[in-house]
Amino acid sequence: MAKGRIPAQQLKHDPLMDQYVKSRTWVEGRSRPLLTGLVIAAVAVAAVLVFRFVSSSRASAAGEALAEAFRVNDAVVSNPLPPNPTGYAYATEDEKHRRAFEAFEKAARDYPSYHGDLARYFAATHQLYFDAPKAEATLKEISQQNSQVAPQARLALAERYATTGRSQEALDEFQKLKAKPGNMPAALVDFHLAQVYEAMGKTQEAAELYFNIANQDRSSPVGTASVNRLVEIDPARIEKLPALAPINPVAPR
């Protein structure tokens, strides 16, 4: 045997060669599944990138739809119309409410997962002026959901009941709001409750709420309004309120 030459029999059973042959056979046998796997992975990555792009674009479009609705919400009402309005302008309140309702409804319908409840809430507040039953149903539905706009919807619904003489229904809604106010100031809810009590002839209950509001903060708008109501329905309670802290004048420099 020549020096340095490896016999064919030994080469056939060389461990490294055996491993190479096994690896090559494994890769060749699985080249199509591997390729398929790589393609699937590439498609998955591309899908994620497309989803992010579409989500970003859709969020931007949703924001613009809501902004457009608020531009209608803030429109000027003037008859005759101003010659060069800086924004939207309508000749009548009815036209404005209908156009605003349509704009908010469109934002809610086209992008329900973004600002759906908020857009529906504002749509309903405009719809109250021309189709109150449907608007009330929408506000009631939103008020029963677990969303940030639910308290505002319940407040709007309760105020609607109060202004249309349905005092007991208004009272029920305000009491629900008081139990679950969300970000609604407690004093504001109590003030509305007091107003309903007044409308129902329950002066004592109303005066108690007005007094508590004023006792907590007489300087706030709702506190000042409560003091004014106490003057009307129970002036004796005014003297029981703590005196307002004097305002120290700023010394001239």
Would residue 99 count as lying in a domain? no
Distance CA 214, CA 226 (A): 6
Would residue 54 count as lying in a domain? no
Poorest-confidence range of 128-132, 176-180, 185-189, 238-242?
A: 238-242
Distance CA 185, CA 173 (A): 16
b/e sequence 144-160, b meaning 16+ C-beta within 10 Å: eeebebbbbbbbbbbbb
Distance CA 25, CA 102 (A): 67
Would residue 202 count as lying in a domain? yes
Q: Where are the alpha helices (DSSP H) in the chain?
A: 8-12, 15-73, 93-110, 112-127, 132-143, 150-163, 167-179, 186-199, 203-216, 221-233
> What is the per-residue pLDDT across 66-93, written as a single tens digit (0 to 9) for each?
999 999 999 999 999 888 878 899 999 9
Instruction: For residue 209, give the nearest of 219, 41, 196 by alpha carbon.
Output: 196
Would residue 78 count as lying in a domain? no
Would residue 204 count as lying in a domain? yes
If one compares 128 and 54, the residue with the highest pLDDT of the two is 128
pTM of the full structure = 0.73
Would residue 194 count as lying in a domain? yes
pLDDT at 75: 93
Would residue 228 count as lying in a domain? yes
Q: What's the domain count of the chain?
A: 1
pLDDT at 42: 53
Strands 76-77 and 89-90: parallel
> What is the per-residue pLDDT across 189-238, written as a single tens digit (0 to 9) for each?
999 999 999 999 999 999 999 999 999 988 899 999 999 999 999 999 99
Longest dimension (CA), the chain: 127
Residue 231 sits in which domain range? 185-239
Would residue 52 count as lying in a domain? no
List residues bridging with 76 in a β-sheet. 89
